[in-house]
Structure 1
Amino acid sequence: MTFPDSRTGDRHHLRAGSTADGPYTLHIDPERAGWDHSALRILELPPGGGHSFATGNSEWIVLPLGGGCTVRADGETFELHGRADVFSGVTDFAYLPRDAEAEIVSAAGGRFALTGARCDRRLPARYGPASGVPVELRGAGTCSRQVNNFAAAGVFEADRLIAVEVLTPGGNWSSYPPHKHDECRPGVESELEEIYYFEIAPAHGTEGLGYQRVTPSGPGKDTDVLAEVRTGDAVVIPDGWHGPSMAAPGHDMYYLNVMAGPGAERAWLICDHPDHTWIRGTWPEQPIDPRLPLYEAPEENR
């Protein structure tokens, strides 16, 4: 990694604001991360604000975190309705191809994630409706969580980029059992660089927090993180067993996962940590947390 957070000394846990760059409150690209593919930017626009950028050698998805916007690229215009915040609903989104000029404008202002991956193919610019996002419930009991599979492999076509949203009710663990995807083993495991971007729901006038754990997965793979995460923080994971992601009681946790890698197949194939995979066997005996889903995708476009 080329950018340790000056406030933590941690090259993997990036506190809110520590990677701010121009219009972006968070800016992680392959050069800064010291890897080859995955990227994430968080763009904040004031009412009436706009931002133009070149997509370069990467494909991008514009994902509203709060507010709506108009996205223009490749002669196409997409009106994104967005949402109030990440805890209130599924959002629509726009896919932008590599080698394009893009513009994002927002009449009311808002916050927008730009999830990116260096890629080879140039696919068409497209609109992703909120109604087309599969909402999945994973785990059971205190391991229950919700996954919004807006750009999962097999759900939305991209060349390299895989991106999903995970919502974990306060007091629960997600990304559990710990798992990894840092080796290319066809049909077994994908090699994927991953970014976790966090937002934590406040409660009773207090800021929320959570925790993220990553442990080394073998020789030469030394990523080791135990981080207290708050809204706006990110954790970059080049390798290692990642999980759990722990939501403090009373504070729901949101994280955006951005992944890409060198494999010929765009797939999310993972291996559980052998010491903890047994936990999956307990889930059929437990109910899913009744607080889930926090919300479902709308039946049709708004």
Structure 2
Amino acid sequence: MHIAPYENQNKPIVDADDPMVPLNYFNIVKLKQGEAFEYQVPGYETCIVPATGTVDVDVEGVQFAMLGNRGEDVWDGEPEGVYAPVGAKVQIVCASDHTEVFIAGARYDKVLDPFDVRQHDLVQYGSDDTKTHRKIKHILGQKQHDKVGRLLVSELFTVGQGGWSGFPSHKHDTNRLPDETRHDETYNFRFKPNWGSGLQMLQREDNEPGDAYHIMDGSTVCIDKGYHPCCVLPGYEMYYFTILGGLTQRSLVQYFQPTHAYQIETIPGIKDMIAKFK
């Protein structure tokens, strides 16, 4: 499902118990210097990631100062995040002139400890020849596996202009280990320049026609089931904030579309990328 860009007024874009992606939670919070935002999401662990600006975060009295270093947009600096346990009371205070903050969440039933992530885990793969060149910055990834319940949070950037992402096409909508896990997924897209755009495909069955959504700067896409590659127009760079929430485990097992699975062998570094979603 595509949710067109809109001013959400700091209210969840994907709320708890969403009918399409109940394992996910997503909010965008915009603040000016000195303004505060408080939230609490029962039944969900969350992660605070400034898209731009700097914030001070308080999680049940545990303080994380000066989170975020990006200026104009998500390309202007490196991501940082704070993990907040299930149902925790969180306060975010803007420490810069203004800020835009992503709040990602996944359903979970145990309370863990809060922590911050000041250095991401980078994976770069693909090639210009295969039109799949991109890099992923993991905020809650493999390195945080023992500290998080079901939530995976990352940022994906195309390398260069134009090209495809999420290919070879894959899905993760059914629990049938060892072949696949059920993970709901939510994206928020940005483009550089910001008048760029792209296309999100969603193919429910192999070799059957699917759906396509025109995505723009600020678009949110919720993936409940099906194969879901996306692409960006030539001449533009694409970014998407990625939230994955697992039903029974955190580690993601992707099932690659049989028609295209052989192309895993043609894309440099993709096997390392797959291994990082654990």
Give me the TM-score of the superposition, normalised by structure 2: 0.87
Q: Any unmatched runs of 5+ in structure 1?
A: 1-11, 289-302
2:122 maps to a residue whose letter is V
Which of 118, 139, 157 aligns to 1:150? It is 139
The CA distance in 1 between the partners of 2:266 and 2:89, in whole Å, is 50
**Residue 127 (str. 1) matches residue 116 (str. 2):** yes
Partner of 1:276 in structure 2?
A: 260
Partner of 1:193 in structure 2?
A: 184
Q: Indicate how the Cα distance of structure 1 residues 171 and 34 shifts in structure 2: closer, same or farther if over 3 A, else same.
A: closer
Which of 139, 142, 150 aligns to 1:160? It is 150
- 1:47 is displaced (CA, Å) by 2.2
**Can you list the C-alpha shifts for 1:14-49, whole angstroms capped at 9, x where unaligned?**
00017x2x423x611243443431111111112221
Secondary structure in structure 2 of the residue aligned to 1:242: coil
**Residue 63 (str. 1) matches residue 49 (str. 2):** yes
- 1:154 is displaced (CA, Å) by 4.8
Partner of 1:36 in structure 2?
A: 22
Q: Any unmatched runs of 5+ in structure 2?
A: 271-278
The CA distance in 1 between the partners of 2:64 and 2:203, in whole Å, is 41
Q: Indicate how the Cα distance of structure 1 residues 217 and 153 shifts in structure 2: closer, same or farther if over 3 A, else same.
A: farther
2:100 maps to a residue whose letter is R
**Can you list the C-alpha shifts for 1:70-100, whole angstroms capped at 9, x where unaligned?**
0001211102033122112322211111132
The CA distance in 1 between the partners of 2:180 and 2:142, in whole Å, is 14
**Can you list the C-alpha shifts for 1:92-129, whole angstroms capped at 9, x where unaligned?**
21111113211001022210000001211101111111
Partner of 1:89 in structure 2?
A: 77
**Residue 72 (str. 1) matches residue 58 (str. 2):** yes
- Number of aligned residues: 262
1:177 maps to a residue whose letter is P
Is the 8 Å Cα contact of residues 33 and 236 (structure 1) preserved in structure 2? no
**Can you list the C-alpha shifts for 1:51-84, whole angstroms capped at 9, x where unaligned?**
0112322111000101110000121110203312
Supply the RMSD in Å over aligned alpha carbons: 2.2
Q: Indicate how the Cα distance of structure 1 residues 249 and 32 shifts in structure 2: closer, same or farther if over 3 A, else same.
A: same
Secondary structure in structure 2 of the residue aligned to 1:211: strand
Is the 8 Å Cα contact of residues 46 and 106 (structure 1) preserved in structure 2? yes
The CA distance in 2 between the partners of 1:88 and 1:127, in whole Å, is 20
Secondary structure in structure 1 of the residue aligned to 2:90: strand
Q: Report matched runs for 1:136-285 at 5 Å.
A: 136-141=123-128, 142-156=131-145, 157-168=147-158, 169-202=160-193, 207-217=195-205, 224-243=210-229, 245-263=230-248, 265-284=249-268
- 1:165 is displaced (CA, Å) by 0.9
Q: Indicate how the Cα distance of structure 1 residues 223 and 180 shifts in structure 2: closer, same or farther if over 3 A, else same.
A: farther
**Residue 112 (str. 1) matches residue 101 (str. 2):** yes
- 1:224 is displaced (CA, Å) by 4.2
